[in-house]
Amino acid sequence: MRSFNFKIFVLIFFCTLFSYAQKEDSTTHSNLVFFKNEQLIKELENIISKNDTCQNNKNKFNWYIDFKENDYILVTQGKIANLIDLNNYQEKAILSTVINNNVVFVVINKQNDLLFKTDFNIDLSNYVGKSVISFRDISAWLIKKDTQNCYHLVDSQIRKCD
Cα 158-128-120 angle, rounded to 5 deg = 85
Per-residue pLDDT of the chain (162 residues; tens, 9 = 90+): 555 454 454 445 445 544 444 444 555 788 999 999 999 999 999 999 755 556 555 567 889 999 988 889 999 888 877 777 766 656 778 899 999 988 899 988 877 788 999 999 988 887 777 777 766 678 899 999 998 889 999 999 887 766
Q: With contact defined as beta carbons under 8 Å apart, do 27 and 128 qualify?
A: yes
Domain boundaries, the chain: 29-157
Q: How far apart are CA 153 and CA 124, in angstroms?
A: 30
pLDDT of residue 138: 80
CA separation for the pair 49, 151 (Å, rounded): 18
**Which of 126, 153, 127 has the alpha carbon at shortest distance from 140?**
153
Instruction: Write down the number of H helices and E strands in the chain.
Output: 3, 8
What is the pTM assigned to this prediction?
Answer: 0.74
